[in-house]
Amino acid sequence: MPEPAGASNGAKAGVGRAVWTSQHMASKPGKKYSAATEKVEKRPYMLEEAIPLVQKIKFTKFDETVEVHMRLGVDPKHADQMVRGTVVLPNGLGKTKKVLVIASGDKVREAEQAGADFFGGEEMVAKIQHENWLDYDAVIATPDMMRSMSKLGKILGPRGLMPNPKTGTVTQDVAKAVEEVKAGKVEFRVDKTGVIHAPVGKVSFVQEKLLENASTLIQAVLRAKPATAKGKYVKSATVCSTMGPGVALDVTPFNARTA
């Protein structure tokens, strides 16, 4: 199986699929996809060039999500090289996330007043545990509920929904946490292959807003560089829409900021 754009050829990879899905793994790409691919030159693009190109070559009827993928020079098997964090995108994601808050006492009312879609205590834990309930996009919990939340690790963990103090989703300030998620807070975490995948908005966004979101996400990843990471931090990066071809980014300026 071929690798995603930039996976092994670095800056020389100009176009390719950033995320491998069943649709992407078809033996022969569709005519519209092939036509879009032909519009991407086989060279690395500056972010300011890549964003408008991704918008231009969109060929589906629905409003696709624009994604940034970064292959990092870290070994996630080592705890001190794990790259993860959160960032609030200045222009949101183009959709309102459904937020579940699991808390007790006054914190439940605080969550409701902050605009949480679902809120409660042990009854919410039981609903998830016994009904495999997953009708939400983010979960926030107060520290006192984490003992009960441990029962849900196998359900929420694989879906990236398990609350974690490092991402601000285990907190006493549930109102702030809810507001940040609703405003477009994005969590990023390097996967086992050393790649970060994150959404930065919709293709329909005004170009400047999409560029600002993408830049904000990239800057957050650069700031999260582990002290133990050696050599080139960003090996390759790609920006693409949900169904479109990847556009390889010039990572030279990224690595200059982390040198």
Q: What is the pLDDT of residue 19?
A: 45
Check residue 65 and give left, alpha or beta (phi > 0: left; psi -120 to 50: alpha).
beta
Contact 147, 163 (CB under 8 A): no
**Distance separating alpha carbons of residues 177 and 188, to the nearest angstrom:** 16
pLDDT exceeds 90 at position 259: no
- Whether the pLDDT of residue 41 is over 90: the answer is yes
Tens-place pLDDT, residues 233-256: 999 999 999 999 999 999 999 999
Q: In the structure, what pLDDT confidence band is assigned to residue 14 with cuts at 50, 70 and 90?
A: very low
User: If DSSP codes are grouped into helix, strand and coil, which group holds residue 21?
Assistant: coil
Is residue 12's pLDDT more than 80? Answer: no
Of residues 129 and 25, which shows the higher confidence score? 129
d(CA 258, CA 169): 28
Query: Quick one: average pLDDT of 40-46?
Result: 95
pLDDT exceeds cutoff 60 at 116: yes
Calculate Rg over the CA atoms of the chain.
19
Q: What tokens appear for 132 in the block?
A: 């495999």
pLDDT of residue 166: 84
pLDDT band at residue 257 under the 50/70/90 scheme: confident
Please count the CA atoms within 13 angstroms of the CA of 117 that sit on its side-chain side: 13
CATH of 99-182, one of 2.40.50.140, 3.40.50.790, 3.40.50.300, 1.10.490.10: 3.40.50.790
Residue that has been written with the tokens 């050829």 in this structure: 9
The whole-angstrom separation of Cα 214 and Cα 121 is 36
Cα angle: 142, vertex 148, 150; to 5 degrees: 100
What secondary structure letter does DSSP report for 98? Answer: P
Strands 185-189 and 84-88: antiparallel
Task: Give the tens place of pLDDT for each residue, 119-173.
Answer: 999 999 999 999 999 999 999 999 999 999 999 999 999 888 999 998 889 999 9
Residue % of the chain over a pLDDT of 90: 77
Q: Is the pLDDT of residue 18 over 50?
A: no
Q: Give the bridge partners for 195, in sequence order.
A: 71
Classify residue 206 by burial, with Cβ atoms within 10 Å: 0-12, 13-18, 19+. Answer: exposed
State the chain's mean pLDDT as an integer: 88
Nearest to 215 by CA among 194, 229, 228, 201: 201
How many percent of the chain have pLDDT more than 70? 89
Q: Where are the domains of the chain?
A: 10-91+185-258, 99-182
Q: How confident is the model at residue 22 (pLDDT cuts 50, 70, 90)?
A: very low
Q: What is the pLDDT of residue 27?
A: 53
> Model pTM?
0.76
Geometric angle at alpha carbon 120, from 114 and 125, rounded to 5°: 135
Per-residue pLDDT reduced to its tens digit, 178-203: 999 998 899 899 999 999 999 999 99
The CATH number of domain 10-91+185-258, selected from 3.90.660.10, 3.40.50.300, 3.40.50.1820, 3.30.190.20: 3.30.190.20
CA distance linking residue 226 with residue 39, whole number of Å: 37
